[in-house]
Structure 1
Amino acid sequence: MMDKGVVQQIRLAIDEQRLVDTAIKLIEIPSPTRSAGAVADRLAQILSEDGFVVERPIADWPDAPAVAVRFDTGSAGRVLQFDGHLDTVHLPFVPPRHENGCLYGSGSSDMKGGIAAFVEALRVLRDTETLRQGGILITAHDHHEGPWGDRRQLYALIGEGYVGDAVMLPEYLADCLPVAGRGMGIFEVRICRDGTQVHEVFRPEGTPDVLGTGAQLVVECQQLATRLAQITHPYAGSDSAFVGRIQSGEIYNQSPTECVVAGTRRWVTPGTIEEVETEFAGLLDRLAQRTGTLIEHDFEVQGDAFRIKLDDPLIGAFQSAYGGCTGAVLPLGSKPFVDDGNSFSRLAGISALTHGPAATGAHTLNEEVPVAELVRVAQVYALTAIGYCHHSAGTK
């Protein structure tokens, strides 16, 4: 368990008002994906004024260079990375508001509040000198939210070596410790035929039925989902296939030339992206041959599946920190969504732990996060760093 004296020292050092002020300074700058340059500049300014040396790697996105800070104790130990995205979904901007113990506004939940919390954790670790080994790497970037972003900036940061021995990400997940999660791909299938739209009664004999083929594809995806449900993981759940949109035609008695079917494919086994894509492409090839239609598709991978070993030192450090703050152990579970942790796991090969405030309203106009949750996250991140970094890299 975490030393009670250290827990109390960190708790007393957290400056709630400073944390709130940092969050508001970030939230008040609109930053839809691909336009996060101004808020990145603001974060860099905040960190610089706090006395940290700030790096601004372009990382494949010159419109909004990323923000990075390395805090090194000078003693051997692990490096724990805190990573966050500064961009928000493309919805009308909601300015920040602080009332009734909560922060409101665009990005307050997802994830400017979380970034402010890990910045506060970094300040406290430096000011209290409780981190005596290893170090902290902070990274913040654009290009996260889809479909507007494609994660290119994070991929470039990883490729350029902005990677710790493990990483924590303050997405809005607080009710379990996600030790596994599914990979996910978004598919869009375009089923076409030659010729033009025509009244149903004037269709030439043998005209391929694109809408009927789309309906067949929906059924085949449902059948696939039934088979995939047998591929399971105790925490991540099961493989799945899902159709959320089918679109075709302009009027009830017209034979259309195109049908679009879109949905998701999720999987629990890491390292199977190519296998998943090949299986889906084969299903479409067979359908095209049976129906005489032309079928094209896009399959956009959002992230691979991941698993964290239960004896990973990051898990132990986190649970010790969480217990020190709350007196409880966080139950193990699954990450229900794909986030940047999936990318760290696949591309950097490091353990990635998603834990943030119990916030609500992400991807809506009603984002809300309790300030007490941001304070708790700052405490947990600081204490996790102490427990994790105070060992040499590669040791338990």
Structure 2
Amino acid sequence: MSSHASIPHLRIAFIFGFLFALPSQLWAQFDFEKEPINYGENLQHDAVAQLQQQLSNQLSQLNFDEQHGYLKSVLEKLNISPESQVLVYSKTSFQLSRISPRKPRALYFNDDSYVGWVQGGDVVEIMTTDPQHGEVFYTLSQEQNETPRFVQDRGQCITCHASSRTQGVPGGLIRSAFVNASGQPHYGSGTFTTDHSSPFAERWGGWYVTGTHGTMRHMGNVLSLDRDDAENIDRESGANVTDLSQKLNVSPYLTPHSDIVALMVLEHQTQMQNFLTLANFETRMAQHHDQTINMALDRPADHQSDTTRRRIASAGEKLVRSLLFVDEFPLESPVAGTSGFASEFAARGPFDSQQRSLRDFDLQTRLFKYPCSYLIYSDSFDQLPPAVKQYVASRLHEILFGDDMGEDFSHLTAEDRRAIREILQATKPDLWASLDPQP
């Protein structure tokens, strides 16, 4: 085995945004590293752990090529399309010395895994989702080896990937900043954590963006050249860019794109997954606390405290709001990407009898035609603890069947609610099966 493949101190901060120094108290053990979560222990169910098991049992193998190392093979094994490629040129990765506006880092993703590649990099960086642990971090040496092996991070990554920006759980995030000509962020000018609620004008600083978006303007494709006035960037020159060849040599990358639709999906998905992990962790930790107190007070083992009920409801409500795109920023112009990402993504379904899917894009006034997240089909949703899963299902029923017409969900028209519930009834028939009365 190569020397790079098993370096125990090689801890990748696989960041979709920017590294910050954390308060000293946050370097202590996180609650989720203890019982009942035991974050990162005995991983068996995330995509990388399963692939490693296949490699170890010689049931699969990774192929190496001189230009991209193991990248293409990893994407193939994890079922990640090269069309998902987005490019980030800020120096915000472990391999920052190799990243610049001329040589951006490429990111590729599907519903549960994310792969980072840097030209000439020492490793491929991977973040993948475990239904009970949230996001888990790995690296793979880019030195050719007969027995390539994924190395699991042992805690360094979560010092940045478990903060208020990730809902306090191990998660991913997209960050936007004002970046200078070398790719270094002007941290003093502030940064933005972006998701589907973010104003368009605050998105993608330090990222390349290919696609059209009409009169809307973002922070991508441009540099901040005045250190004393870092926020003064030429947004116009970065707008509606469909060809990156004038900004960098795109030939080393798997595609010439950094697709705007892929970026919008990515920023929704990372925070959506974080809310799923939060609901899981909060419920398990609250119930674990109840079990300890019940034993000490000789109460029935299944007694649930008011505090636990409130914790579950709070986390569940945050999840519901994210699922239904509450506070989504309304698009002011149509958006169109440049790659095959949108068509590939939409084709994955599942579909109802009218060929409708939660993956159908709108891209005229909002991201999706039917604003309910496709991650409702994920293992992370399906494996939520029963108490919070029941809460979420009940709230979705109330909202989609019109029993809750509150202001928070006023963005959902009667037609939206009808379409979403019909799609869910056809494609996720067990969602409301435990509710009484049944829909």
Length-normalised TM-score, structure 1: 0.25
- Which protein has greater RCO, CA pairs closer than 8 Å, 6+ apart? 1
Larger Rg: 1
Q: Give the structure with the larger strand fraction.
A: 1
